[in-house]
Structure 1
Amino acid sequence: MMGTMSQRVVIVVFDGFQLLDMAGPVDVFNAARHLVRPPCYEVVPTALRAGTVRTGDGISVVVETALDDIEGPIDTLVVAGGFDVAEHLADAALLDGVARLSRMARRTASVCSGAFVLAEAGLLDGKRATTHWLLLDELRRRFPSVTVERDALYVNDGGMWSSAGVTAGVDLALALVAEDHGHSLAGDIARGLVVYLHRPGGQSQFSRVLSVRTPQSAALRELQVWIDSHPDDDLSVPALARRANMSERHFSRVFTDQVGVPPGRYVELSRTDAAQRLLERTDDSLASVARQVGLGLPQTLHRVFVRHLHVSPSDYRRRFRTKDI
């Protein structure tokens, strides 16, 4: 646990950043300021230029200190993310500035797609990291030297922190406070903000598991639609190959090449996706849900959910059910 000397937290933003990526961590650090005397954190937002920075949400914020004017020491460097982050990955001034600040910081962190900025600046080479579940594959593809953690809400690898999407920045900031000042303070902040100190489950529970490629073949696209709309039918490879008028071997090869996953895995993902919708929108029993999506037994439904979403069907329903029961 660190002492109560003020720790400077520098948060890097850019045009198009997501407001909550900054606001979530700021609220956590600001809550700690109110609970510890003397105040334990000083938060300094920065951007390439001082002045107005427009968020991707259409709201403008005023940054008083330009990135080049930030000098050490820095306790924690945080890089926000945003839908437009790709537009900034070729900005040498931003990348060089982030790398410079990181060298002065005790630890460096990213929220959501801010991980792409850290990776492009070379700060995640050989490190474990995470980002929003929709961007995990892109982070792995673009930066093969980074070990991408798919289900983590946040990752710490040798003082290089990264978090999953958007609100996971709050989870990240709480973990940083806990590291600095203990879990008791972090718990008090979590209660005040009405959030979990340790959110149950990882980020997979928030994703739609059916994120696969659309095949080039019109016949396979039609077959995908048929699979998704007939989860309780015979979706074995022999049955699907017959429907596609192909041999089993040829069908499996072509389907895997064009969709990105083997047909058996696609079927399981499709059935999981169908089960998610039923659990969210109906009060059908787990046995009924399992039958309707072609998984047969509640035990099979449970195994599939744990494998793909890392939560049980019952837990998923409690967290995401949209119908009053």
Structure 2
Amino acid sequence: MPKVAFFLVPRLHLLDLAGPAQVFSTANDLGYAYGLSYVAESEEISTAQGVVLKAQRDWPSLGRDDLIVVPGWRSPRLSPRPPISAGTRQVLRSHHANGGSVASVCSGADALGAAGLLDGRRYTTHHELTDELAARYPQGSIVRDVLYVVHDRVITSAGIASGIDLALHLVAVEHGAEAAARVAREMVVYARRNGDELQESAMLRHRGHLSDVAHRVQDVIDTRYAERLPLAELARAAGVSERTLTRVFTTATGLTPLRYQQLLRLERAEHLIGHGATVEAAARLVGFEDARMLRRLRARDHFATSA
């Protein structure tokens, strides 16, 4: 049974903790065993939302298959020093050096940085903290505007709800994508997003509905957006007629399946272009036959945004 030890700091954000903890707890309920523990440097921890939590002072025995998670704390700006002791920093370093994994949510990356675990690695954090964290830990490489980054058993996430995405990813790594999908469905979390997706993505904007048919089709498109996906194939995946699919999907998301796929392609292409790809290369990578369609969609999207 893999162990997950959450290290709690004063004024931590409840969702930074509760989101990942719920993922692993739900996985437990579904038969994917995890042993959860909550450790802090004092027995009581006040949260940013005013709830007081109790934690154990002693660390459990951890091995190479186990995970330490540091949730974030209230931090519109980084404090002069992260609120962890030298002893805790050593625990983080030793666990990683012995083959274990460490993860952070939001400003929790500051704790990993203080332990030296960001040096020489790619990492991310909440978009409001990226500049400060990049300046504080220049030996690492900050990755901006993504949900989470995995590098050499150091997993960092953007903050708040992205901790759920991070934990679902870890469940998928440990038990497979089907297990992660079961957990997400049990939690009524349909936006199962990848780490390189934007912190504000079309997947999230158009998942705020409860249509199971639309969610099943979105799962297919999200995974295979760069492929040709005929409406008939999507309808078969959802178990409905093409006409019903178009009606239900449009009612739920405000978009046709094709427009949703184009939006995902466009968003991914913009991300690639922003990281140095040419328009032609980006168009090819996201599934367009040539760059003309991408240029038309970019122009239309720019016009709509400016209007």
Normalised TM-score (structure 1): 0.58
Read off the aligned partner of 1:128 and give its amino acid letter. Answer: R
1:305–1:178 CA distance, 2 compared to 1 (3 A): closer
What does residue 17 of structure 2 align with?
22
What does residue 218 of structure 1 align with?
none
1:82 aligns with 2:73: yes
Q: For 1:23 and 1:198, locate their aligned partners in 2 and report how far apart those are by CA, in whole Å.
A: 18
1:124 aligns with 2:118: yes
What does residue 41 of structure 2 align with?
48
Q: Deviations over 1:61-88 (max 9, x none)?
A: 111x214x43232611111111256353
Q: Deviations over 1:248-282 (max 9, x none)?
A: xxxxxxxxxxxxxxxxxxxxxxxxxxxxxxxxxxx
Native 8 Å contact 1:77 1:105 kept in 2: no
Native 8 Å contact 1:150 1:204 kept in 2: no
What does residue 203 of structure 1 align with?
199
Q: 2:147 aligns with which of 149, 153, 158?
A: 153
Native 8 Å contact 1:88 1:94 kept in 2: no
Native 8 Å contact 1:32 1:189 kept in 2: yes
Q: For 1:105 and 1:53, locate their aligned partners in 2 and report how far apart those are by CA, in whole Å.
A: 29
What does residue 249 of structure 1 align with?
none
Q: 2:62 aligns with which of 72, 82, 107?
A: 72
Q: For 1:314 and 1:13, locate their aligned partners in 2 and report how far apart those are by CA, in whole Å.
A: 47
Q: For 2:23 and 2:298, locate their aligned partners in 1 and report how far apart those are by CA, in whole Å.
A: 30
1:58 aligns with 2:55: no
Matches within 5 A, 1:100-139: 100-104=94-98, 106-139=100-133
Read off the aligned partner of 1:98 and give its amino acid letter. Answer: L
Native 8 Å contact 1:18 1:57 kept in 2: yes
Native 8 Å contact 1:76 1:105 kept in 2: no
Shift of 1:151: 2.1
1:102–1:315 CA distance, 2 compared to 1 (3 A): farther
Q: For 1:90 and 1:11, locate their aligned partners in 2 and report how far apart those are by CA, in whole Å.
A: 13
Q: For 1:315 and 1:76, locate their aligned partners in 2 and report how far apart those are by CA, in whole Å.
A: 42
Unpaired runs of at least 5, structure 2: 203-266, 275-296, 303-307
Read off the aligned partner of 1:55 and give its amino acid letter. Answer: T
Native 8 Å contact 1:8 1:42 kept in 2: yes
What does residue 13 of structure 1 align with?
8
Read off the aligned partner of 2:61 and give its amino acid letter. Answer: E
What does residue 140 of structure 1 align with?
134
Name the SS of the counterpart of 1:46 in structure 2: strand
Q: For 1:70 and 1:103, locate their aligned partners in 2 and report how far apart those are by CA, in whole Å.
A: 17
1:315–1:198 CA distance, 2 compared to 1 (3 A): farther
1:22–1:104 CA distance, 2 compared to 1 (3 A): farther
Unpaired runs of at least 5, structure 1: 1-5, 207-301, 317-325
Normalised TM-score (structure 2): 0.61
What does residue 226 of structure 1 align with?
none
What does residue 251 of structure 2 align with?
none
What does residue 164 of structure 1 align with?
158
Read off the aligned partner of 1:79 and give its amino acid letter. Answer: V
Shift of 1:27: 0.4
Q: Deviations over 1:73-114 (max 9, x none)?
A: 261111111125635357323322332343345211111111
Q: How high is the sequence identity, in percent, across the aligned residues?
A: 33
Q: For 1:128 and 1:56, locate their aligned partners in 2 and report how far apart those are by CA, in whole Å.
A: 28
